[in-house]
Structure formats: C-alpha cells, structure tokens
C-alpha cells in the first residue's frame, strides 16, 4: 500500500490533487462536510430546474483539457462543451451590448460604440495574449515557494506590467465608459478592483475575447462529476457528510484527522477547505497566520445569490447577462473601501436554459442571480428580499417585460450560508484576491511552515481564485507532496 493521505474538502482543488496523488500511488480519502461533492460548485435542483450554485463561466478551456490529458483523458470523455455565441450581453442604461463569439464580431461592436476603437482593441489583445502565454508557461504552474520562480528573461522584460494597473492601461487607450467597463469586467474574477490589479492580469481579457466562453452541457456540475469519476477510477475514496473537527499533530507532524466517527491516522494531510478555517483545526501554536493577518488581506467579494425557477421562457435574455447599468466605481467602493450593502448595485444574471434547455422543465427558464457584496456583512432575510425585488425590477426594465408572474420559486444564498455551508472566512465567495501584494509567493503557501506533512490547496493559496486556478492548485500541491514524500 502507498502512503495514506487525508484530504479535507471536495472542491476543485481537492478533486484535482486527489487524482494526481492516487495516480502516483497514494492511498487517498477525501472528507467532505457536505452531502454533495464539488464545494462552491455544488448543484441545486428543484421541480426539474437545475442550478449551479457557484461558478457558471467556463473560461480557459485549455486548462481543463490539460488536467484531463494528464490522465490520458479528454473533457470529451466526460462532458460535451458548447462554445457560446454570443458569449454574453451587457446591459447599460441606454442599450444592451452583445459580446460575440469571435474577436472579429467584438471589434465590430467596439467600432459601433466608438469609431476607431477596434485598432487599440487589437493592440490590447495582442499584449493580453502575450501575457496569457507567459502566465501559463512561466508563472501559474509554479508552487509560489520563492520570488525566484518568477524570474525569467521574459518576465524581466515585462516588469512594467506588474507595476501599472489594468485600469490605468485601459483608460489610457479607451475613453468611452462602456468600453472601459467591458474591458475591466474579466479581472473582476480575480477578486479585486481593476485599479488594484496589475496590468499583467490582462491575460484574463485574452481568456474572455481570445479563448471564449464555453458551457458544459448539463451545467458546471458536470465538471465535478467528471473529476469525481476519474478520481474513483484511480482508487480515491470519498466520504461525504464528514466534517473534520481537528487535524491531529504528533511530534510536530500532521498524523491524521478527527472525523465524527473517530480519529483516522494518515501519513499526510492536505486541506482544500478554506485556509483560515483549516488553521482553526490546529492548536494555536501550530497556526501560521494570526487573525490580524487574515483581517488585513484583500478578500474577493461575497455574494447575494438567488436561484429562481421561471414558468416561461424570458424575452431578451442570453445565457450570461451583466447588469452594468449603474455606477461600477461606487459599488466597488462599497465592496472594498467602506463595506456596506450597495446603494445601486451591479449584478449578474445567468439563464443557462437559454442554450441548454435540459436545465429547465419544458417551456421554463432557470435563473441564477448574483450580486457581489463585501465579505463579513450582516445578512438578514428582509435585506435579501429587498435586493431581489430590485434585481427583478431592473431585469423587467431592461428587457421590457414583467417576469414576476412567471416566478415559480426563488431561493436565496448569502454571506451566512457561505460560512455555514463551506466554512468560508467572512463568507467570501471566491477566496483571496490576486493583487500585487497577494500574488504567487506572497500568498499563503501550499505547505505549512509550522506543521510537517501538512499541505494546503485551493483558492486561498496559489495561484488564486477561479475554477482553472483551483485545478492548477491541486496539481501544485500534489507535486510538492511527491517532492517531499516520495
Ligand atoms: C457564486 C460564485 C460564483 C463563481 N463564479 C465563477 C465562475 O463563473 N468561474 C470560475 O472559474 N470561478 C467562479 N467562482 C470561483 C470558483 O467556484 C472557486 O474558485 C472554486 O470552486 C474554489 O474551489 P476550492 O477547491 O478552492 O474550494 P471550495 O470549492 O470552497 O471547496 C472547499 C470544500 O471544503 C469543504 N470543507 C470546509 N470545511 C471542511 C471541514 N472541516 N471538513 C471537511 N470539509 C470541509 C467545503 O464544504 C467545500 O466543499 C465562483 C464562486 C462562487 C462562490
């Protein structure tokens, strides 16, 4: 038998690590506190409506392909991917802008909004593609152990891209506020304000306009099912409904976990649960980071979510819809600078049944609404309801219909649910932001500095938030384990 490893949580990072470790001969057991696998990418079903409870944007298809190809497989062995065309639409106050499925279409739309803007857009995209290549080849697959990992002739030549911000770069080239919002949108996935995000992260714009927006038929949960199937085929055991209450430490080394059924002894422990929560499972003296440390990090937003079943097809909506018809700067300040419920929020609405009818009962529409919020806010039922009404009003106003009579049910999910369901620090939705001071070796590490044989993976460590980075994080953690324990 190989060495035994206990993995906490079954999010994408844990699933990824479990596959690599099992392939390399480890005896892997994954302990998940909830009844379902997938962590923040859980699925909720009701009356024939299927909802992804977390991620809905499938970006960077190359990273998913790379993951499955490491096991001699392809995504096509597990799920069907459709490229969305149009990719998404953005509602502004006076019009809806459509982002097409190719750069040509997007250039045409830019020209329509601001004549002459396709030229700087092509230049911007060339640089974004260059950043993407460097990010993938030279940066994101590094374990974040030392600043030297990032030093190469190519990164040295592009040092300026780490010290300017994406917001400054975009505003230098584009004056039209709609174009600025469109180009700033992709870096919101990194969890910080565009004005706090280094220029280098324009690789997210390449992920958006260059690589496109995809959808796994049946929803994002298909990816979880695919990874779990692969993991089982490699010998991984899953124990759901099994919260870990303690990480056992003997002679300064992690030696097992306490489950509701009792202690389980292992050679190694890897946690894919939120980093902050994981450290609370250790005696104080074995924790690397203080409460003050966590409190002073820039966290990605939390969210107010609604899962809504509609009895009829809606007019004027696409698979992905961004409601940027209010002041983004103001909402961003209410998330990052003065945490408070927003006065006039931006939000996102996803109707996957528009392109994937199987996700709703015949003739119905599956609706997922997301409003970003500062983590740690007080969250009350009346507040949730009031914002739901406002989002529905805005949907009606922008699409010229009345959707309320078609609502069969709506379920909400907010800060307190993120804490209860995922042990999320302050109810963050997608981890710790990628700012200059929270990048690579400056993020909490994959290996504990205080406890031997204890490793971490997931969106709070390297490389950062999002599904593709979580897949990479699992790979990086497993490589580090192999290096130290093979
Ligand atoms: C609303 C929302 C929208 C998003 N949209 C997108 C998107 O469109 N595209 C994209 O790429 N990314 C998106 N993300 C981000 C993406 O979902 C996450 O970055 C990713 O799923 C994180 O995976 P993870 O493995 O780090 O952690 P998680 O998914 O959080 O997994 C951690 C797991 O650990 C479990 N756990 C916690 N404590 C314990 C314990 N004591 N014992 C046992 N188990 C425990 C939790 O239950 C959870 O299952 C979104 C996230 C959210 C919440």
CA of 11 to the centre of ligand 1 (A): 5
Bridge partners for 216 per DSSP: 81
Residue given tokens 């906490």 in the structure block: 8
Whether ligand 1 lies within 6 angstroms of the CB of 10 is answered as yes
pLDDT at 420 over 80: yes
User: What confidence tier does 63 reach under pLDDT thresholds 50, 70, 90?
Assistant: very high
CATH label, 4-41+61-72+218-296+432-485, candidates 3.30.530.20, 3.40.980.10, 3.50.50.60, 2.60.120.20 = 3.50.50.60
Of ligand 1's listed atoms, the one at least distance from the Cα of 303 is 1
Whether ligand 1 lies within 6 angstroms of the CB of 273 is answered as yes
Q: Where in the chain is the domain with CATH 1.10.405?
A: 104-211
Q: Where in the chain is the domain with CATH 3.50.50.60?
A: 4-41+61-72+218-296+432-485
High-pLDDT (> 70) share of the chain, % = 100
pLDDT at 146 over 90: no
Q: Is 205 exposed, middle or buried (0-12, 13-18, 19+ CB in 10 A)?
A: buried
User: What confidence tier does 104 reach under pLDDT thresholds 50, 70, 90?
Assistant: very high
The bridge status of strand 268-271 relative to strand 302-310 is unpaired
Half-sphere CA count of 73, side-chain side, radius 13 A: 17
CA of 274 to the centre of ligand 1 (A): 8
Is the link from the previous residue into 86 a cis peptide, with omega within 30 of 0? yes
pLDDT at 154 over 90: no
What's residue 149's pLDDT?
84
In the structure, how many helices (H) and strands (E) does the chain have? Answer: 16, 19
Of ligand 1's listed atoms, the one at least distance from the Cα of 474 is 25
Query: Which sign, positive or negative, has the C-alpha torsion 445, 293, 32, 81?
Result: negative
pLDDT at 358 over 90: yes
What's residue 401's pLDDT?
98
Element spanning 473, H or E:
helix 467-485
Measured over all CA atoms, what is the biggest interatomic distance in the chain, rounded to whole angstroms? 68
Whether ligand 1 lies within 6 angstroms of the CB of 466 is answered as yes
Element spanning 329, H or E:
helix 328-336
Residues 6+ positions from 212 with CB-CB distance below 8 Å: 61, 83, 84, 87, 101
* Distance from the Cα of residue 94 to its chain's centroid: 30
What's residue 267's pLDDT?
98
Distance CA 218, CA 353 (A): 9
Using CA positions, which residue lies closest to atom 10 of ligand 1?
Answer: 466
- What is the average per-residue pLDDT within 417-435? 96
CA distances from 129 to 75, 300, 309, 330 (A): 23, 25, 39, 30
Backbone φ and ψ of 60, nearest 5°: 60, 60
What is this structure's pTM?
0.98
Element spanning 334, H or E:
helix 328-336
pLDDT tens profile 243-291: 999 999 999 999 999 999 999 999 999 999 999 999 999 999 999 999 9
pLDDT tens profile 440-486: 999 999 999 999 999 999 999 999 999 999 999 999 999 999 999 97
Show the tokens assigned to 191. Answer: 């969890």
Distance CA 272, CA 265 (A): 18
pLDDT at 157 over 90: no
Distance CA 299, CA 319 (A): 28
Backbone φ and ψ of 402, nearest 5°: -120, 110
What's residue 125's pLDDT?
98
Distance CA 132, CA 178 (A): 24
Q: Thinking of the domain 104-211, which architecture would CATH place it in?
A: Orthogonal Bundle (1.10)
What's residue 50's pLDDT?
98
Whether ligand 1 lies within 6 angstroms of the CB of 388 is answered as no
Using CA positions, which residue lies closest to atom 31 of ligand 1?
Answer: 11
- Please, what is the average pLDDT of the chain? 96
What's residue 310's pLDDT?
98
Greater pLDDT, 160 or 301: 301
- What is the average per-residue pLDDT within 110-122? 98
Using CA positions, which residue lies closest to atom 33 of ligand 1?
Answer: 9
Whether ligand 1 lies within 6 angstroms of the CB of 282 is answered as no
């Amino acid at each position: 038998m190989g060495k035994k490893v206990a993995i906490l949580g079954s999010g994408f990072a844990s699933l990824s690590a479990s596959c690599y470790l099992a392939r390399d001969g480890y005896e892997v057991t994954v302990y998940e506190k909830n009844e379902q696998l997938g962590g923040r990418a859980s699925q909720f079903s009701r009356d024939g409506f299927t909802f992804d409870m977390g991620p809905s944007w499938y970006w960077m298809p190359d990273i998913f392909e790379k993951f499955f190809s490491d096991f001699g497989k392809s995504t096509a062995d597990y799920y069907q991917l459709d490229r969305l065309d149009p990719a998404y639409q953005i509602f502004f106050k006076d019009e809806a802008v459509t982002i097409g499925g190719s750069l040509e279409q997007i250039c045409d739309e830019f020209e329509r909004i601001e004549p002459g803007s396709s030229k700087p857009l092509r230049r911007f995209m060339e640089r974004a593609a260059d950043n993407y290549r460097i990010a993938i080849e030279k940066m994101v697959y590094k374990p974040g152990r030392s600043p030297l990992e990032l030093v190469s002739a190519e990164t040295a030549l592009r040092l300026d891209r780490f010290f300017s911000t994406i917001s400054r770069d975009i505003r230098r080239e584009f004056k039209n506020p709609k174009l600025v919002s469109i180009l700033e949108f992709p870096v919101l996935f990194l969890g910080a304000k565009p004005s706090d995000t280094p220029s280098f992260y324009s690789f997210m714009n390449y992920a958006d306009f260059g690589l496109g927006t995809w959808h796994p038929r049946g929803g994002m949960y298909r990816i979880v099912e695919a990874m779990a199937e692969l993991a089982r085929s490699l010998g991984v055991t899953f124990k759901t409904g099994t919260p870990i209450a303690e990480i056992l430490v003997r002679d300064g080394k992690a030696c097992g976990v306490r489950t509701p059924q009792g202690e389980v002894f292992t050679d190694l422990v890897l946690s894919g649960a939120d980093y902050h929560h994981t450290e609370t499972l250790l005696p104080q003296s074995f924790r690397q980071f203080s409460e003050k440390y966590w409190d002073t990090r820039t966290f990605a937003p939390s969210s107010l979510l609604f899962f809504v079943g509609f009895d009829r097809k809606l007019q004027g909506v696409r698979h992905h819809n961004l409601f940027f018809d209010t002041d983004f700067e103001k909402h961003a300040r209410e998330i990052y600078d003065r945490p408070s419920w927003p006065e006039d929020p931006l939000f996102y609405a996803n109707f996957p049944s528009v392109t994937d009818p199987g996700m709703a009962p015949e003739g119905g529409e599956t609706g997922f609404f997301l409003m970003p919020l500062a983590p740690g806010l007080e969250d009350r039922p009346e507040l949730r309801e009031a914002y739901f009404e406002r989002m529905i009003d805005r949907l009606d106003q922008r699409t010229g219909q009345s959707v309320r009579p078609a609502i069969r049910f709506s379920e909400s999910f907010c800060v307190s649910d993120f804490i209860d369901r995922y042990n999320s620090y302050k109810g963050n939705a997608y981890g710790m932001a990628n700012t200059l001071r929270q990048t690579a070796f400056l993020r909490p590490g994959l290996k504990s500095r205080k406890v031997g044989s204890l490793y971490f993976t997931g969106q709070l460590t390297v490389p950062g938030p999002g599904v593709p980075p979580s897949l990479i994080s699992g790979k990086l953690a497993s490589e580090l384990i192999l290096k130290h324990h093979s």
